[in-house]
């Protein structure tokens, strides 16, 4: 899952990005509102974490422009401690949730997971595709109760597919969910990850179907 983190406090941004990366998120960091607005015009993200007090273009204006473009990406705003007014402005402008600084990173991560589930119309934290299950809180995939061993990028591919279960996901969308801006996006590598994941799913009844020219679909073997 690819997240845009917009925070002008660089030590906080670097620490938070590292924490999220350890939890298998791909994170792009920018430090002002103008750069955030540009990226939100040109890139696709599953979630935006947006500080409200930013140089060049404040967070409320970034959010206003985003929603005026009919972009419904979930946005979690960060506000100064006890800044009730800031949170109200953000929520009224179209934010989905907010947290006041300083915050507990565990609470932040829980809210991120909830927003991602909601945006993918998944309310239950346990996602199921036949014998394959995914606990979006512990980030563990298992087949018939036996945990799967996945690399970080294999995990990211399978997470994207199960979050969008029943929908076709293009190779480009999978590639964009795996790679940050600083990395080379390799669509060919997606085929390698899909092949590896398929091998690891062989003992269950979940399958990744290739729809030529369209992308990939996660479904049960016996589904029509």
> Mind giving me the DSSP string for 188-219?
HHHHHHHHHHHHHTTTSSEEEEEETTTEEEEE
- Provide mean pLDDT across the span 60-71: 93
- 103 and 162 in a single domain? The answer is no
* 44 burial type by CB count under 10 A (0-12 exposed, 13-18 middle, 19+ buried): middle
Other CB atoms closer than 10 Å to residue 97's CB: what's the count?
A: 18
Kindly state whether residues 90 and 131 are assigned to the same domain: no
Query: In this structure, are 63 and 10 located in the same domain?
Result: yes
* pLDDT band, very low/low/confident/very high, at 111 (cuts 50, 70, 90): very high
End of a domain among 119, 154, 171? 119
What CA–CA distance (Å, rounded) separates 6 from 61? 13
Can you give the pLDDT at residue 1? 81
* Whether residue 134 sits in one domain with residue 95: no
Query: pLDDT averaged over the chain?
Result: 87
Same domain, 86 and 162: no
CATH no. for residue 65? Answer: 3.40.50.2300
Determine which of 45-59, 71-85, 128-142, 187-201 has the lowest per-residue pLDDT on average: 71-85
Give the contacts of 162 (CB within 8 A, at least 6 positions apart).
127, 129, 132, 134, 141, 218
More confident residue, 22 or 178: 22
Residue 115 shares a structural domain with residue 215: no
* Domain co-membership, 111 together with 168: no
- Asked if residue 97 has pLDDT above 80, the reply is yes
Write out pLDDT tens, residues 197-218.
Answer: 999 999 889 999 999 888 999 9
- pLDDT score, position 213: 85
Helices (H), 102-186: 105-119, 152-163, 171-178
Q: For residues 191 and 148, is the Cβ–Cβ distance under 8 A?
A: no
**Lowest model confidence (mean pLDDT) among 75-79, 162-166, 180-184:** 180-184
Q: Band of the pLDDT at 96, cuts 50, 70, 90?
A: very high
Q: Tens digits of per-residue pLDDT, 2-20?
A: 899 999 999 999 999 999 9
Q: How confident is the model at residue 185 (pLDDT cuts 50, 70, 90)?
A: low
- 108 with 174, same domain: the answer is no
What is residue 93's predicted lDDT score, i.e. its pLDDT?
83
Q: Assign residue 192 the CATH number of its domain.
A: 1.10.10.10
Which pLDDT value is given to residue 44?
Answer: 86
Whether residue 8 sits in one domain with residue 111: yes
Q: Enumerate residues 6+ apart whose C-beta is below 8 A from 147.
A: 140, 141
Residue 224 scores a pLDDT above 60? no
- At 26 the pLDDT is 86
The larger pLDDT score, comparing residue 117 to residue 194, is at 194
Work out the average pLDDT over 27-36. 95
Phi/psi at 214 (nearest 5 deg)?
Answer: -115, -45
Q: What is the pTM of this model?
A: 0.77
Rounded mean pLDDT of 25-49? 93
Kindly tell me if the per-residue pLDDT of 182 is higher than 60.
no
Q: Which domain holds residue 91?
A: 2-119
46 and 67 share one domain? yes
Same domain? 113 vs 161: no
State residue 176's pLDDT score.
Answer: 78
Boundary (domain end) residue, out of 74, 90, 119: 119
Residues 68 and 169 reside in one and the same domain: no
Rg of the chain's alpha carbons, rounded to an integer? Answer: 18
Structural domain total, the chain: 2
**Residue ending a domain, choose from 89, 119, 149:** 119
């Amino acid at each position: 899952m690819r997240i845009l983190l917009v925070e002008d406090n660089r030590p906080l941004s670097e620490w938070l990005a590292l924490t999220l990366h350890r939890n298998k998120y791909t994170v792009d960091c920018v430090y002002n509102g103008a750069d955030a607005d540009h990226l939100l015009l040109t890139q696709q993200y599953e979630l935006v974490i947006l500080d409200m007090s930013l140089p060049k273009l404040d967070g409320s204006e970034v959010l206003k422009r985003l929603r005026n473009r009919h972009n419904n990406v979930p946005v979690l705003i960060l506000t100064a401690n006890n800044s009730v007014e800031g949170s109200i402005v953000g929520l009224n402008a179209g934010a989905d949730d907010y947290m006041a600084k300083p915050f507990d990173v565990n609470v932040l991560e829980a809210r991120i997971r909830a927003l991602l589930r909601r945006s993918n119309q998944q309310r239950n934290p346990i996602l199921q595709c036949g014998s394959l299950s995914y606990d979006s809180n512990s980030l563990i995939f298992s087949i018939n109760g036996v945990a799967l061993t996945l690399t970080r990028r294999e995990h990211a591919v399978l997470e994207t597919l199960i979050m969008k279960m029943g929908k076709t996901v293009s190779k480009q969308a999978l590639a964009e969910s795996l790679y940050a801006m600083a990395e080379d996006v390799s669509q060919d590598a997606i085929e390698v990850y899909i092949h590896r994941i398929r091998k690891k799913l062989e003992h269950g009844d979940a399958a990744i179907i290739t729809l030529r020219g369209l992308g990939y679909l996660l479904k049960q073997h016996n589904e029509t």
